[in-house]
Structure 1
Amino acid sequence: MSSREGGKKKPLKAPKKDAKELDEDDKAFKEKQKEQQKAMKEAADKAAKKGPLVGGGIKKSGK
């Protein structure tokens, strides 16, 4: 009979990643991303209030 121990064995837990120190560029980049995300959310809210831009779909002739 064959044993059930085939292939690689997985580690039980992944090692923890070291906490990175953020420099000025990283802080500025993250702040810019937050502002862009906030602006996109506000624009989406405004668009949701207006409703669909195109209404009616395919128009059929009366023939």
Structure 2
Amino acid sequence: MSGRQGGKLKPLKQAKKKGPADDEDETDIAFKQKQREEAAKLKALAETAKKGGPLGGGGIKKSGKK
């Protein structure tokens, strides 16, 4: 018998019951839809960033002196 098996076993946690407070109204649904749209926009921007190329046009400016 190893040290981890000794003693009383703890019971597994019970799944939480869903109550009437879990119902969503129109504002919650609209908020979640807005979050999905923003996530899709961010994903599209991430894909364009992976392709390479200039994103903002800024960066290190070099002087004309050599």
Q: If the length of structure 1 is used for normalisation, what is the TM-score?
A: 0.57
Structure number with the bigger relative contact order (C-alpha 8 A, sep ≥ 6) is: 2
- Percent identity of equivalent pairs: 47
Query: Shift in Å at residue 17 of structure 1?
Result: 3.2
The number of aligned residues is 48
Structure 1, unaligned stretches of length 5 or more? Answer: 54-63
Structure 2, unaligned stretches of length 5 or more? Answer: 1-6, 56-66
The CA distance in 2 between the partners of 1:42 and 1:12, in whole Å, is 42
Instruction: Give the RMSD, CA atoms, in angstroms.
Output: 2.6
Q: Residues 47-62 of structure 1 correspond to what in structure 2 (within 5 A)?
A: 47-50=49-52
Query: Shift in Å at residue 12 of structure 1?
Result: 2.2
Q: If the length of structure 2 is used for normalisation, what is the TM-score?
A: 0.55
The list of structure 1 runs, each at least 4 consecutive aligned residues, that deviate by more than 6 angstroms after superposition, is none
What is aligned with 2:59?
none
